[in-house]
Amino acid sequence: MKRLTIIVLDSVGVGELPDAHLYGDEGSNTLGHVSQKMGGLKMPNCQKLGLGNIITVEGVPPTDQPQAAWGKMAEVSKGKDTTTGHWEIAGLILETPFPTYPEGFPAELIAEFERRIGRGTLGNYPASGTVIIDELGREHMETGFPIVYTSADSVFQIAAHEEIVPLEQLYEWCRIARELLSGPHAVARVIARPFVGQPGSFKRTANRHDFSVAPFQQTVLDALTAAGIPVYGVGKIYDIFAGRGITETVSTKSNQEGMDRVVELLSAKKEDCLIFANLVDFDMLWGHRNDVENYARGLEEFDGRLPEVLALLEPEDLLLIVADHGCDPTTASTDHSREYVPLLVTGPQVTPVPLGVRGTFADVAKTAADFFGVDYTTVGVSFLADIMPAVRS
């Protein structure tokens, strides 16, 4: 039995990439700045693995005897969003960035969307999701018109009150938008953003749902499932890949629930398999809201759950801890940031060596393919022979 578990700490970047200036992200360092702002983090389990060996993390000093191989990875793809990052982790490089709409969506596109759903819309401008429902929530409740908005990311977001628009109707509107947004308007994700409450006290619910564009080429997930190796998606992994290459999915509504599902899968699945999990709270709840205190608390809570996962690793298992981009909550921006991401690799047979600066997130995909002995071509370079010298890739 060989199992590979990948846990993506959504947005936990570790310092600006050389091209960060092209994205307005000079100086970003999500993990480093959170630790500095809080005067240190308490992450003893990640410290033992070697998190503090990757970059300076206050409260998490480097160790002379790390229990994991450690390094950081650069993003080759154009962009800094969730879909781009995860696709690259799975081996797919995006040469052309997904379209964004800093001035809102074209009038003709909105008009066609309104025609298809049979009613008008509100908004159509870039905004924080919590701010725009405060601004337009009352009018939405009075008219039943959905709130359409975007951000610096390639997203078409539709917000609606759960008591005004049933969830299934909101999801159907998202499916209509996903079908409409193709070709030059093929945004990375259409996102349902349901909320509840009354004017002045609106609150988004956990019934968010993403409708992603399908990968345009094969990912390592496709290669694994074609070879009969199951891929279990945890959290929004299924959505990010539009279901492609996912054998089974379990939804989650929090980081803690995500860790619960990982623990359950490791306890139950006694077979060759990939467990691919996304912990979204870092990004969705804290990064985009510049909530440094809760971002730090979330990191420490993840660290506290780590021993449960490590205790379930069988002799042939690997655990990778990575991220997909940054979202530095200490900067003025509330958007994602173009950053390196951490790489920690552990398991009973892993040799804890420095993995350096990897040239692409796709190194993870190539390593996964080599680990399972599956043929998969990508620009990534496997590090399996580095961490498991007895294994030949």
Angle between helices 255-268 and 292-311 (to 10 degrees): 10
Q: Is residue 289 domain-shared with residue 319, that is, in the same domain? A: yes
Q: Which amino acid, residue 90?
A: A
- 101 located within any domain: no
Confidence of residue 389 (pLDDT cuts 50, 70, 90): confident
Stronger pLDDT, 253 or 219, i.e. the higher one: 219
Q: Are residues 161 and 57 in the same domain?
A: no
Output phi, psi for 298, to 5 deg.
Answer: -65, -40
Q: pLDDT, tens digit, for every residue of 109-148?
A: 999 999 999 999 999 999 989 999 999 999 999 999 999 9
| 175 phi/psi in degrees, rounded to 5 | -65, -40
Total domains in the fold of the chain: 2
Query: Is residue 346 very low, low, confident or very high in pLDDT (cuts 50, 70, 90)?
Result: very high
pLDDT at 392: 44
Give yes or no: residues 111 and 135 share one domain: yes
End-to-end CA distance of the chain: 18
Query: What average pLDDT score do residues 169-181 get?
Result: 98
Across residues 291-318, what is the average pLDDT?
98
- Closest by CA position to 338, among listed 73, 80, 106: 80
Clarify whether residues 21 and 111 are in a common domain.
no
Domain boundary among 212, 238, 253: 212
| Radius of gyration, alpha carbons of the chain | 21
Residue 152 has pLDDT above 80, yes or no: yes
Q: Does residue 229 carry a pLDDT above 80? A: yes
Whether 250 and 320 share a structural domain: yes
SS3 197: coil
Residue written as token pair 């390593």: 367
Q: Model confidence at 247, in pLDDT bands (50, 70, 90)? A: very high
**What is the torsional sign of CA 127, 137, 176, 236?**
positive
Among 212, 234, 257, the domain-final residue is 212
Return the pLDDT at 206: 86
Residue range 323-345: mean pLDDT, rounded = 97
**What average pLDDT does this structure show over 319-329?**
98
Report the sign of the C-alpha dihedral through residues 4, 255, 215, 15, in that order: negative
Assess if residue 393 is contained within a domain: no
pLDDT at residue 153, as a whole number: 86
What is the C-alpha to C-alpha distance for residues 129 and 204, in angstroms, rounded to an integer?
9
Range of the domain at 56: 3-96+214-387
Q: What is the CATH number of the domain that holds 345?
A: 3.40.720.10
Residue 2's pLDDT is 96
295, 297, 302, 303: CA torsion to nearest 10 = 120
The answer to whether residues 262 and 334 belong to one domain is: yes
Q: Strand, helix or coil at 124? A: strand
**The model's pTM:** 0.91
pLDDT at 72: 98
For 161-184, what is the mean pLDDT?
97
* 255 and 368 part of one domain: yes
Check if the beta carbon of residue 324 is closer than 8 Å to that of residue 86: yes
Together in a domain, 267 and 354: yes
Phi, psi at residue 101, to the nearest 5°?
Answer: -135, 75
Q: Is residue 340 part of a domain?
A: yes
Q: Are residues 85 and 218 in the same domain?
A: yes
Tell me how far apart the alpha carbons of residues 183 and 208 are, in angstroms, rounded to a whole number: 25
CATH assignment at residue 168: 3.30.70.1250
Confidence of residue 391 (pLDDT cuts 50, 70, 90): low
- The pLDDT, as a whole number, for residue 185 is 96
- Residue showing tokens 């619960």: 260
Q: Give the model's pLDDT for residue 393.
A: 40
* Token digits of residue 185: 């308007």
